[in-house]
């Protein structure tokens, strides 16, 4: 099926962790909620998540609790409850699978292919509104929905109107809206990548979309090609129903005695981890398509994950390390962390290698 004939919907739960607490406790609704903080000292710790009522007063994720209290003195603090979040997420995904083939992107996001359902009658926006209304009515979870001909457009359309917005875009609408906007609004473009592109005259998504692929390959390797596709509203990956059920992962992590932001130490550890993980992949005759870094910003607390999906699966240590290094520089450079790890997922069996012309100049 041609890409333009597909209709992909991205459902993005709004302020999910805070919304889960508001879902089970009606007294917390419409109030500034902050998830996080220290159990032993109310002045310490970090904000793990917050409601939009708190965001409007200047609270943001990873902010210190001390600063959050100054921004929002009337905030209500609740402790994280991962069993609650996973329970509610499971209910949401179960419901979305009734709508159409569903790919779980994260605990609070999913892609749904509504091509067949929409072709039989209901307009995509009608389907999106139904999803919003049912999630709010049944479990009091708000969500924003993006609709597009592929996953990248639906993902970025879901960011346009929060909370509880519905935005549908085709390729032309995507370009009209996003091309004048800064690179930091492009999915997958972190701060370090944005800075590198800006030094080469690319400051907007439109600049990147019109850039020479040879220049992008030289700057960013294969990732430059992927971001170029995204900037032009192109995405070849289909909704994968098996992604959550079929994924197996391998990984390694280490906890530091104290917080460290020393990139030389962290990237040195990353290199050692990648060598071991690459060896394990080869022993298992597998290749990984997705590289993730895992980290904690406090000793006792939630771990965070940043991921990058490669254009082709690999067990090459140098390619995996380059992806991990890119993720670290884009998301964690100069950030003090207590735990660091690398995780490989989307593992493919590799009985043989299928070569293509693109493999000949693989730089990423």
CB 345 within 8 A of CB 247: yes
Q: CATH number of the domain that 334 lies in?
A: 3.30.1490.100
Residue 198 lies in domain: 181-231
Query: Catalytic site residues?
Result: 109
Domain boundary (58, 82, 106) is at: 82
pLDDT digits (tens, 9 = 90+) for 171-210: 999 999 999 999 989 988 877 788 889 999 999 999 999 9
Across 20-34, 48-62, 242-256, least confident range: 242-256
pLDDT digits (tens, 9 = 90+) for 110-143: 999 999 888 878 999 999 999 999 999 999 999 9
**Average pLDDT of the residues in 215-229:** 89
Residue 158 located in a structural domain: yes
Q: If you average pLDDT over each of 69-78, 241-250, 254-263, which comes out highest?
A: 69-78
pLDDT at 361 > cutoff 70: no
Confidence of residue 38 (pLDDT cuts 50, 70, 90): low
pLDDT at 265 > cutoff 60: yes
pLDDT digits (tens, 9 = 90+) for 160-169: 998 899 999 9
**Average pLDDT of the residues in 24-30:** 95
Percent of the chain at pLDDT exceeding 70:
90
Same domain, 166 and 194: no
Same domain, 265 and 347: yes
Percent of the chain at pLDDT exceeding 90:
50
Angle ∠(161,162,165) on CA atoms, nearest 5:
60
Residues contacting 322, CB < 8 A, separation 6+: 221, 364
Percent composition of the chain: helix, strand, coil (DSSP 3-state, to 5) = 45, 25, 35
**Average pLDDT of the residues in 248-273:** 85
**Average pLDDT of the residues in 252-270:** 86
Same domain, 332 and 283: yes
Report how many domains make up the chain. Answer: 4
Same domain, 127 and 270: no
Across 163-167, 221-225, 243-247, least confident range: 243-247
Residue 240 located in a structural domain: no
DSSP states of 290-312? EEEEEEESSSSS--EEEEEEEEE
d(CA 26, CA 29): 5
pLDDT at 64 > cutoff 80: yes
**Average pLDDT of the residues in 60-80:** 89
d(CA 87, CA 97): 16
Residue 204 located in a structural domain: yes
Residue 362 located in a structural domain: no
pLDDT at 359 > cutoff 80: no
Same domain, 61 and 99: no
pLDDT at 228 > cutoff 60: yes
pLDDT digits (tens, 9 = 90+) for 277-303: 888 888 777 889 889 999 888 765 667
Confidence of residue 246 (pLDDT cuts 50, 70, 90): very low
Same domain, 351 and 208: no
Q: What integer best gives the mean pLDDT of the chain? A: 86
Same domain, 7 and 119: yes
């Amino acid at each position: 099926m041609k890409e333009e004939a597909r209709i992909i919907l991205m459902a993005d739960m709004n302020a999910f962790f805070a919304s889960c607490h508001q879902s089970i406790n009606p007294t917390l609704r419409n109030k500034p909620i902050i998830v996080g903080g220290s159990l032993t000292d109310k002045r310490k710790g970090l904000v793990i998540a917050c409601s939009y009522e708190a965001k409007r007063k200047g609270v943001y994720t990873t902010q210190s609790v001390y600063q959050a209290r100054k921004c929002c003195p009337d905030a209500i603090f609740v402790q994280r409850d991962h069993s609650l979040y996973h329970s509610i997420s499971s209910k949401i995904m179960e419901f979305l699978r009734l709508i159409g083939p569903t790919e779980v992107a994260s605990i609070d996001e999913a892609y749904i292919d509504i091509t067949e359902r929409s072709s039989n009658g209901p307009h995509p926006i009608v389907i999106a509104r139904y999803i919003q209304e049912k999630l709010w009515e049944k479990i009091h979870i708000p969500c924003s929905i993006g609709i597009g001909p592929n996953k990248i457009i639906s993902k970025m359309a879901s960011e346009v109107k929060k909370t509880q917005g519905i935005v549908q875009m085709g390729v032309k609408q995507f370009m009209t809206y996003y091309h004048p906007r800064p690179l930091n609004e492009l999915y997958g473009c972190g701060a370090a990548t944005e800075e590198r592109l800006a030094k080469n005259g690319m400051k907007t998504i439109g600049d990147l979309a019109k850039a020479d692929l040879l220049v992008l390959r030289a700057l960013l390797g294969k990732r430059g090609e992927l971001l170029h596709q995204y900037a032009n509203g192109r995405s070849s990956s289909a909704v994968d129903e098996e992604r959550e059920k079929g994924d197996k992962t391998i990984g390694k992590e280490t906890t530091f005695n104290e917080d460290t932001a020393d990139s030389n130490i962290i990237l040195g550890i990353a290199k050692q981890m990648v060598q071991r993980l690459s060896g394990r992949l080869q022993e298992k005759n597998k290749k990984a398509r997705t590289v993730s870094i895992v980290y904690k910003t406090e000793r006792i607390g939630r771990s965070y994950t940043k991921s990058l999906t490669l254009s082709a699966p690999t067990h090459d240590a140098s390619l995996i390390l380059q992806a991990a290094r890119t993720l670290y520089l884009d998301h964690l450079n100069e950030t003090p962390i207590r735990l660091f790890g690398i995780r490989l997922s989307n593992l493919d069996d590799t009985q043989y290698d299928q070569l293509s012309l693109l493999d000949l100049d693989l730089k990423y």
